[in-house]
Structure 1
Amino acid sequence: MSAPTMPPKLAEIVDDFASAPREVVLEMLLEFSDAMPPLPAEMDREGMEQVVECQTPFFLRAEVADGTVRTWFDCPPESPTTRAFAGILAEGLAGASPQEVLAVPEDIYQRMGLAQAISPLRIRGGIAILGRLKRQVREQLA
């Protein structure tokens, strides 16, 4: 059995960013920020985990059910970079198995070329978001 790989959709997003010129990367981030789905009406930050490493209030929740991971993110519209991280993960991990989520590399944002486009502090927040998401998945599998 081969080692799990990150979900194909997320891999495609990573490749798109990695091959894009720097000036286009910022536009792509804004598109993912704008496309981040809102929380369902019946859900609020109660029961979500805050990612304190983010400069802005950021909350997430992951749920493993029927062999897939569902994610919810909450972040204010005034924080487009952080919302973009959430939008990338929401789209790239949609329908992913727990093993695929856990296989997402810690250096995903560097692989995307974002370290050249945004500040290290923002990258650190993105890494923390991914870390919390993976921890929640691992806890539910245990």
Structure 2
Amino acid sequence: MSTALPAQLAEIIDDFQDLTEPDRLQLLLDFSRELPELPERLREHPELLEQVVECQSPVFLTLEVGDGPERLVNLFFSAPPEAPTTRGFAGVLMEGLDGLPAEEILAVPDDVPDRLGLTRAITPLRMRGMSAMLGRIKRQIRETAA
């Protein structure tokens, strides 16, 4: 089953695929530096965030789904600066999915982390962490619809 990727996520994957492996790691570091800080309303209430326990680093995420017919999703991540790989994965998901309709995010294939071309450069455990982030996002969207 081939699912069309959202344009912004497809562009990120293309950017990774166009690079050599060392440059892909550098791009991942760039995404880690671009991950926005949590808004103050979430910084003051960490209990509103869900920990992604599959990640080696303490990563937390939450989302808000809009009321309109498209149910636009806003993502929020918290990952420590000393965990650049994990922050980079969060940054990729943030850049690739934030602001999209819920249905579009739910349709994103689960193998997106593998499509970045980092499987040889990054441990399987870290790759599972990114897959877990995507899984949590989808689960939270489904829970808000229920």
Q: How many residues align?
A: 140
Asked if 2 retains the 8 angstrom alpha-carbon contact of 1:4 and 1:100, the reply is no
Residue 112 (structure 1) aligned with residue 116 (structure 2): yes
Q: Look up the match of 1:37.
A: 36
Q: Look up the match of 1:51.
A: 52
Displacement of 1:20 in angstroms is 1.2
Structure 1 gaps, min length 5? none
Matches within 5 A, 1:118-133: 118-133=122-137
- Supply the distance in 2 between the matched residues of 1:4 and 1:110 (Cα, whole angstroms): 15
Of 75, 79, 83, the residue aligned with 2:83 is 79
Asked if 2 retains the 8 angstrom alpha-carbon contact of 1:61 and 1:73, the reply is yes
Asked if 1 retains the 8 angstrom alpha-carbon contact of 2:38 and 2:78, the reply is yes
Comparing 31-40 with 105-114, greater Cα deviation is found at 105-114
Residue 139 (structure 1) aligned with residue 143 (structure 2): yes
- With structure 1 as the length reference, what TM-score do the two structures score? 0.93
Give aligned-pair identity as a percent.
51
SS of equivalent residue, structure 2 residue 74: strand
Displacement of 1:42 in angstroms is 2.1
Residue 99 (structure 1) aligned with residue 100 (structure 2): no
- Supply the distance in 2 between the matched residues of 1:61 and 1:19 (Cα, whole angstroms): 31
Q: Look up the match of 1:18.
A: 17
Comparing 91-100 with 118-127, greater Cα deviation is found at 91-100
Structure 2 gaps, min length 5? none
SS of equivalent residue, structure 1 residue 32: helix
- Supply the distance in 1 between the matched residues of 2:106 and 2:91 (Cα, whole angstroms): 18
- With structure 2 as the length reference, what TM-score do the two structures score? 0.91
- Supply the distance in 2 between the matched residues of 1:25 and 1:7 (Cα, whole angstroms): 21
